[in-house]
Amino acid sequence: MRNLKVIMAFKGTDYHGFQRQSGIKTVQQTVEEAVGSVLNEKVTIFGCSRTDKGVHANEYCFNLKTENQIRHRNFLRGINDRLPDDISLISCEDVPLDFHARYDTKAKEYIYLIHNSESKNPFTRDLALHYRRPMDIELMKKGAEHFLGTHDFLSFCSKNGEKENTVRTIYKFDIEKNDTAVKMTICGDGFLYNMIRIMVGTLLWINEGRLTPDDIPSIIEAKDRGSSGRTALAHGLYLNKVFY
């Protein structure tokens, strides 16, 4: 038995997220069908994270177990030939049998992209949020600083039906602007449902004067989703890197 660790990239526009769902097009189902046709066996891939509809990935990790002794290069070539153009396998390696792409994750890095201009950009459609208002990057950075460290992020979670632990640690929250392109880079030990999109939406509210940077600590303390900002649209979000 082999355990293969695979890195892929995908454009999430046409998928209802990663996780397999009955009767709905997902990344997991699409990849499993391609892998199964190459290995000539039914396979289940275990992803590093769930993603929402429209969210993209520059570096997404999954693992799968197989008895097939196919070479890594042939695995990548054969499956990429069967995948649609919006999904691509990047690398493949053998790892210990107890490796799990989700449960062995130490940290994840996401980026959120914004096209900041009065005019839309046809080349970033479905790939970056179009935001027309002028952006005060330094003001937003002051707000983002309050996210750093270990906090209970219940105020930045869309739902918590299973009463999961909502404490997370944010290691980095950088914001940079180059002409009309704005990139937010967020790294943490884990993220709640819609957490990054709500943090981004809250920073946009700060930019619009609906909140101030100094409001963030009290929003965190409130542990109430109603106290934070809007949920930014999914298509600006990318899983950028996974750390093990």
Q: Of 207, 140, 196, which Cα lies nearest the Cα of 168? A: 196
Q: Which of 14, 52, 174, 215 is catalytic?
A: 52
Interatomic CA distance for residues 213 and 190, integer angstroms: 23
Residue corresponding to tokens 């404490």: 167
Q: Which two tokens stand for residue 147?
A: 């996210």
Q: Of 202, 83, 90, 227, which Cα lies nearest the Cα of 146? A: 202
Q: C-alpha 216: how far from its chain's center?
A: 23
Q: Which two tokens stand for residue 5?
A: 């660790």
- In the residue annotation, 224 being an active-site residue is answered as no
Q: Which two tokens stand for residue 1?
A: 């038995």
DSSP symbols for 114-137? EEESSS--TTSTTTSEEE-S---H
Name the helix (H) or strand (E) containing 140.
helix 137-145
- Calculate the CA dihedral of residues 63, 66, 69, 71 and round it to 10 degrees: -20
Q: How many CB atoms lie within 10 A of CB 96?
A: 8
Q: Of 11, 20, 22, which Cα lies nearest the Cα of 55? A: 11
Active-site residue list: 52
